[in-house]
Amino acid sequence: MRVPRLSATAVVSLTAFAATGVIPGDARKGAQVFQEQKCVTCHSVDGTGGKSAPDLSKKSGRGYTPADMAALMWNHAPAMWTAMEQAGIEKPKLTAEQSADLFAYFYAARYFDRPGDAARGRRAFISKGCAQCHNVGSTAPEGGKPVMTWKSVSDPIELAREMWNHAPQMRQAMADRKVSPPTLTADEMNDIVVYLQNLPQTRNLQPEFSPASPETGETLFQVKGCAECHRGAHSLDKKTSLRTGADYAAAMWNHSHNMIQLQPELRPEEMRRLVGYIWALQFANTGGNAARGHKVFEAKGCGNCHGKGAAPSLDAMAGRANPYTAVSALWNHGPNMLKQMQAQKIRWPRFKDTQMADLLAYLNAGK
């Protein structure tokens, strides 16, 4: 495979990630943050913990975007702070890195996935031909590894990698049977994952999600030749569908059937680097509208403090606003903000629909 040189545009793009503060999260560290910051007092994980808030280990999925999650946390913050005061729990302070880890933990727990259905997933697993090669608990006659040994059931990055690497062998096996390789929608993939994660042999696996550096991931994206096709209208920063593990896995599987060059096999660390790059894109570009965000900024009363010396200016936030920094700011400065707003008889802002994404887009633009 030809190895293209990094263009000037790519080099600029690499430094852009550092400027926006977009960092990959680690689900294992996020699980520690979840425990250490006493989130488990209200939220359950696998049924263990508080019952006054949702169980984050439920496999059904919520279908949130990262900006949606930031908005939900923002909207719920005053009630959370009140509950923590009543329980004698000190309010946590989160760095942007800890927020990234926490979001990765939510991602691994499938909180960003659309609701899936295990029964539909079982039907898809059979109808798409997966069951012809893969049994649940034993090696199939065709040689497919049993599902219960798949680490990828709990790791969306490994799932995407195995789907990609397995595609040539699967295509050949299906060609031998004179059948066409199946395509999978993200919803079908999501249902299949829900089905596999709820099998008796796999339901106790701990979720994992630990992408690597987006900067090294973009370099690999260039080196592997991905950037040769994914540019212009096909550029990944214009894609709004690559948001969940199921989205990645389905896209990688379907794309492998249409490759116009030799499909490169990916090692685990390479897939983690690539996913780190794609993961960062959704935080660097929330899909919001800056013009609408300006209206949100004014309507929510943000200008009462920001720009008047009582809070960071728009220039200070330009290029650095993303869901990580929004959550970090909420927990570090929110309680004091609430007191100041109450003193001025200003209502705590709540966000719905795309308002948080729009606001972040406006803040990123600066003045």
Indicate the SS3 state at residue 46. Answer: coil
Q: What is the pLDDT of residues 312-358, one digit of tens each?
A: 888 888 888 889 899 999 999 999 989 888 888 888 999 999 999 99
Q: What is the pLDDT of residues 123-171, one digit of tens each?
A: 999 998 888 888 877 776 666 778 888 878 888 889 889 888 888 888 8
How far is CA 324 from its chain centroid?
12
Q: What is the pLDDT of residues 31-78, one digit of tens each?
A: 899 988 888 888 887 677 888 887 776 655 677 888 998 999 999 999
pLDDT of residue 123: 96
CA torsion, ordered 328, 330, 335, 340, to nearest 10 deg: 130
The dihedral of CA 161, 262, 132, 181: what is its sign?
A: positive
Contacts of residue 111, defined as CB under 8 A and 6 or more positions apart, other chains included, come to: 56, 61, 62, 64, 69
**Among residues 305, 308, 313, 295, which one has the least CA distance to residue 351?**
295
| pTM for the whole structure | 0.75
